[in-house]
Amino acid sequence: MRTRRDPALLVLEDGFVLRGEAYGQLGRTVGEIVFSTGMTGYQETLTDPSYHRQIVVMTAPHIGNTGVNDEDPESSRIWVAGFVVRDAARRASSWRSERELEDELRDQGVVGICSVDTRALTRHLRERGVMRGGIFSGTALPAGAAEGNAAAREVLGDLVRQAPAMTGADLAGQVTTPHAYVVEPAGEPVATVVAVDLGIKSRTPAQLAARGVRVHVVPQSITLPEILALAPDGVFFSNGPGDPGAATHEVELLRGVLDAKVPFFGICFGNQLLGRALGYGTYKLEYGHRGVNQPVLDRATGRVEITAHNHGFAVDAPTDAPSVAPFDGGRYGRVEVSHLGLNDDVVEGLRALDIPAFSVQYHPEAAAGPHDAEHLFDRFIALMTQRRASATREDA
């Protein structure tokens, strides 16, 4: 027999309202509302720190059927501000499940809503762009709001519009590790990498460690002398939440890494920060790229890779030919856009031609897949190996 649920409302800042049923914790939550097109991997999505302060709409209709476990999380907690699904599974049926998804949401205080038309909601966001939204249930739902009372719903709309916007938000410091830690390599170490945690996912250092890299995961607040004291063969900047235009400390730190000629690799937020460090601009996408089925062209090979994305900002760089990086009169030399998103021609990768640095906007480490781009970790190792060999020849 179906469990009776409390009513819940989803309210967007432009006045769009959907009635549904409470899912997870009862209460109120506000944030930027975005949609993810992944057909699987909801546990990885929920625990991705890049979703900090965002309400996530799952476009796949049936969510919760595989439950949750202790092997798949990308971090130690759920980060989404809220969760929106169409059909909540009545029970988990996977042999790997250890707990029910709704119990996990409730235990971690995540307010959600189910039994809503996520297709209509996604179409609305695609037409109007992502915006602030809120989920209200239990005592946070004013009398009459669920029944359509205009005044009550206007109160909720005002609460949503008072929420901070994502543009201008500096959030990496809120999700970074408080203390540095080391992920040891499998077998003999082939390189040492300092990974700056801007919202890093657990699978990223695991990918490097599996290839023989010792990874020092360090807080966002680290300084350049502290990085160099670890004698890294390479530096990595992770994914993370917020507006790259507000990440002043991180951009200055990255310029120090580039000046030191330490090989650099960045993913997602790290790609945007490389763009800014090189002097290019960044801008907010209308509704972003989020999901596990995004086609990207690798311009060097001509191959199309199916990739996982989670970004609402992008780099503004010339795509027709290599350009001189604008910062400081071309201090970092020439740069090419190495990857393009085939849905909308968004910059999906950068490669510096005169210094050892490259980045991609998408997620080659994606735990739920696809795995087409995992070779980028090998490229990073090759870059570090070449740089080390070159330094040895210069010393000789």
Which residues are annotated binding-site positions? 50, 240, 242, 269, 272, 310, 312-313
209 within 8 A of 241, measured Cβ to Cβ: no
The amino acid at residue 279 is G
81 neighbors 53 (Cβ within 8 angstroms): yes
Known binding-site residues for L-glutamine equal 50, 240, 242, 269, 272, 310, 312-313
| Amino acid residing at 21 | E
CA dist., res. 291 & res. 269, Å (int): 16
CA end-to-end span of the chain: 77
Distances (CA, A) of 273 to 138, 173, 249: 41, 15, 10
User: Measured in whole angstroms, how far is the alpha carbon of residue 147 from the centre of its chain?
Assistant: 36
What three-state secondary structure class fits 321?
coil
**Catalytic residue status for 268:** yes
- Residue 44 identity (one-letter amino acid): E
Q: What is the largest CA-CA distance in the chain?
A: 80
Q: Which candidate in 74, 104, 348, 365 is catalytic?
A: 365
Distances (CA, A) of 97 to 11, 48, 101, 108, 240: 32, 19, 9, 17, 28
User: Could you tell me the two tokens for 112?
Assistant: 């959600």
Q: Give the count of alpha carbons within 13 A of 149, CB side only.
A: 10
Structure tokens at 279: 């002097």
Active site residue 305: no
Pairing of strands 347-352, 334-341: antiparallel
On whether the CB atoms of residues 180 and 205 are closer than 8 A, the answer is: no
Residue 177 token pair: 């590790």
Cα–Cα distance for residue pair 217/236, rounded to 1 Å: 9
Q: Are residues 125 and 119 in contact, defined by beta-carbon separation less than 8 angstroms?
A: no
Catalytic residue among 216, 250, 268, 289: 268
Q: What residues are labeled active site?
A: 268, 363, 365
